[in-house]
């Protein structure tokens, strides 16, 4: 097993809308998630993000936790709707003042800021032009990216333009399960394309104001056939085109994969030429200095006929037999994580990789001693860090890992039930309690990624979650 590089960026991740709260502070505009959360039944439990983790006000407390844990990187997002409240035009300097303070304090603590520009919180004003379905969204995003990089670009070495464009496309515009709640197959194809085009155009526009590296964070899902049949193998390859290659190829090679383009054109009943215009693929290709990898699980695929409720000829069926799962029933497959990193190294050589999200839902809460003994998350962390070490041994150019998430938070349409955090948040009081998994992670970071000793026990904590 290879050692991790000495400059490896060990850290944790959050996003603005999921933790900040203070939705009416400092001139913030409405986002598409504000509107979506107001729709009855859109969020489990009827919750919203008005308070969330209250991190817009308590950000220094969160940075104290990062420092105490010895983290070397913090991936977080700027709130697009704070900086451009009207979607375009006016720049809200008070919002930029806030993020400048956060970044300066991270720098003072020697924690690398990894800054995401769009973590799903598009300004609601842009829905006038169709949101990401409308091509105007590209120009709006470029304006925002330039405003952010002109103010912050001299202090940020890692920029992520888009977080999980497939999820925005699928859940936001195809299935309507996320903001803005649209169900339009053709529109979803346009939205996904415009997200990538906005990345390319923004990367070009940002170069004059930052020397930082610019990339995209993709949620990548290895797709495996449910059986040994040729039909299931074809289904798995098609699914791979849908969730992985449709984004990887235009970003890291040149142009969309022909097989998946044919699937899309059959599904929407016509060519994509009105969406993917001449010159667009040129504007996307070669604009990524690194790739952010968000990994949670795989997709087990079976062939199935396309129909009214199934635009593509495959379906997710899940594994059979005994499989480790999270409390959200997500299959835990660290070997697939290792193989994905090696595949990216093999098929897209020369692109540095940063794991920008990886984590699990476990519902552990404080016990009689006030601590959270989340043994399963510790086991999950160890297995996935081992997978990264094996990928590095195989040559994968891995530069960092930011665990999802630093804090239990507002988990979008799932509300506050799923807990991903290394830190427990009492959503009634805002109190933070560092979980055992976080302390174990801190030990791994201090040891440079070494996880020897299967019986290693995390340090103990007192009832307030402090180191003991």
Which of 171, 218, 221, 170 has the alpha carbon at shortest distance from 196? Answer: 218
Catalytic residue, chosen from 20, 143, 281, 357, is 357
Contact criterion met (CB below 8 Å) for 37 and 411: no
Residue 407 forms beta bridges with which residues? 423
Contact criterion met (CB below 8 Å) for 115 and 78: yes
Q: Does the active-site annotation cover 357?
A: yes
- CB atoms < 10 A from the CB of 308, how many? 5
Residue 425 forms beta bridges with which residues? 432
**Pairwise CA distance, residues 386 & 337, whole Å:** 10
Using CA atoms, how far residue 140 sits from 86, 164, 201, 352, in Å, is 10, 19, 11, 28
Using CA atoms, how far residue 315 sits from 230, 238, 304, 319, in Å, is 15, 10, 6, 13
**Pairwise CA distance, residues 266 & 259, whole Å:** 11
Return the DSSP state at 2: P
List the structure tokens of 219: 């949620």
Q: Does the active-site annotation cover 331?
A: no
**Pairwise CA distance, residues 461 & 468, whole Å:** 5
Residue 299 forms beta bridges with which residues? 223
Catalytic residue, chosen from 164, 281, 390, 411, is 164
b/e map 210-228, b = 16+ CB within 10 Å: bebbbbbbbbbbbbbbbee
Which of 299, 196, 163, 197 has the alpha carbon at shortest distance from 243? Answer: 299
Question: Is omega for the bond preceding 180 within 30 degrees of 0, making it cis?
Answer: yes
**Pairwise CA distance, residues 188 & 132, whole Å:** 8
Catalytically active residues, by annotation = 164, 357
């Amino acid at each position: 097993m290879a050692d991790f590089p000495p400059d490896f960026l060990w850290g944790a991740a959050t996003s603005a809308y999921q933790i900040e709260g203070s939705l009416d502070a400092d001139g913030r505009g409405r986002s598409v998630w504000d509107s979506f959360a107001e729709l009855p039944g859109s969020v489990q439990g009827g919750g919203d993000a008005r308070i969330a983790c209250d991190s817009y006000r308590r950000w220094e407390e969160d940075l104290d936790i990062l420092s105490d844990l010895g983290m070397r990187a913090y991936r977080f997002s700027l709130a697009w709707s704070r900086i451009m409240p009207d979607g375009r035009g006016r720049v809200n300097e008070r919002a930029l003042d806030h993020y400048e303070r956060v970044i300066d304090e991270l720098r003072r603590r020697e924690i690398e800021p990894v800054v995401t520009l769009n973590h799903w919180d598009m300004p609601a004003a842009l829905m006038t032009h169709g949101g990401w379905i409308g091509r105007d969204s590209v120009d709006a995003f470029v304006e925002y990216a330039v405003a952010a990089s002109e103010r912050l670009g001299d202090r940020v070495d890692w920029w992520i333009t888009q977080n999980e464009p497939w999820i925005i496309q699928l859940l936001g515009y195809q299935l309507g399960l996320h903001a803005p709640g649209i169900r339009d197959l053709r529109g979803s194809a346009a939205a996904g394309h415009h997200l990538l085009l906005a990345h390319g155009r923004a990367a070009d526009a940002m170069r004059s104001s930052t020397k930082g590296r610019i990339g995209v964070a993709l949620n990548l899902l290895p797709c495996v056939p449910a059986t040994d049949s040729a039909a299931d193998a074809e289904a798995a390859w098609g699914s791979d085109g849908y969730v992985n290659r449709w984004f990887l190829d235009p970003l890291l090679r040149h142009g969309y994969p022909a097989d998946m383009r044919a699937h899309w054109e059959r599904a929407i009943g016509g060519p994509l030429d009105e969406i993917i215009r001449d010159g667009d693929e040129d504007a996307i290709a070669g604009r990524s200095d690194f790739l952010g990898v968000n990994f949670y699980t795989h997709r087990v695929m079976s062939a199935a006929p396309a129909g009214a409720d199934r635009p593509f000829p495959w379906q997710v069926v899940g594994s059979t037999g005994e499989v480790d799962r999270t409390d959200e029933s997500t299959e835990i497959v660290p070997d697939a994580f290792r193989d994905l990193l090696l595949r990216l190294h093999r098929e897209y050589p020369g692109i540095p990789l940063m794991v920008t999200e990886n984590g699990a839902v476990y519902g552990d809460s404080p016990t009689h001693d006030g601590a959270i003994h989340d043994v399963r998350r510790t086991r999950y962390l160890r297995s996935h860090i081992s997978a990264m070490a094996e990928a590095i041994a195989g040559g994968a150019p891995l530069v960092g890992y930011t665990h999802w998430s630093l804090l239990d938070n507002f988990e979008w349409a799932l509300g506050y039930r799923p807990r991903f955090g290394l830190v427990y948040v009492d959503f009634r009081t805002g109190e933070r309690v560092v979980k055992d998994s976080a302390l174990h992670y801190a030990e791994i970071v201090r040891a440079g990624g070494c996880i020897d000793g299967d019986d290693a026990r995390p340090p103990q904590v007192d009832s307030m979650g402090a180191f003991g």
